[in-house]
Amino acid sequence: MSKTVLYPGSFDPFTKGHESIVQKALLLFDKLVIGIGKNSEKKGYFTLESRINHLEHLYKDEKRVQILSYEGLTIDLCSKKNINFLLRGLRNNKDFDYEYPISMHNKLLNDNVETIFLCSDLNVSPFQSNIIREIHKSGGNIDVFVSQSSLLRID
């Protein structure tokens, strides 16, 4: 039986920290779906289209990775796509303190979905999308944080 995991997020931008989580997950799962959630409460900094294109380019040679965007509850996407595993990346204990209650709520909404936590590599753990966006807004080079960042476009 093939095991598929959903890795949801805004990925605004998709950092090398996110990449490290994908690499680890591909050792554990047969297929990985990267779901870019559209949050009506937040306007993305980079366009949704450029985030999708960026990810498609990064994983063009990895047939086990699928990229999609979605609206609504992540747990509902799992049901629609028959996915039983959710992937969350952790940089530190604060991430766990934030993610764990969400995983419990998701479990109550759909008992068939299990949340898997993976820690990012130490060399990329400090990377935070909000700081990277500020560096970019100020004209700084974000290549050290984001692979092939030139593919991203501002919204």
pLDDT in tens, the chain (155 residues): 789 999 999 999 999 999 999 999 999 999 999 999 997 777 899 999 999 999 999 999 999 999 999 999 999 999 999 999 999 999 999 999 999 999 999 999 999 999 999 999 988 888 888 999 999 999 999 999 998 877 788 86
Cα distance between residue 63 and residue 51, in whole Å? 18
Domain count, the chain: 1
| Within-domain flag for 155 | no
* CA dist list (Å): 27 to 4, 104, 132: 12, 25, 28
| Within-domain flag for 15 | yes
* CA dist list (Å): 65 to 12, 88, 138: 18, 16, 33
Backbone angles phi, psi at 7, to 5 degrees: -110, 95
Cα distance between residue 97 and residue 141, in whole Å? 31
Domain encompassing residue 119: 4-150
> pTM of the prediction?
0.92
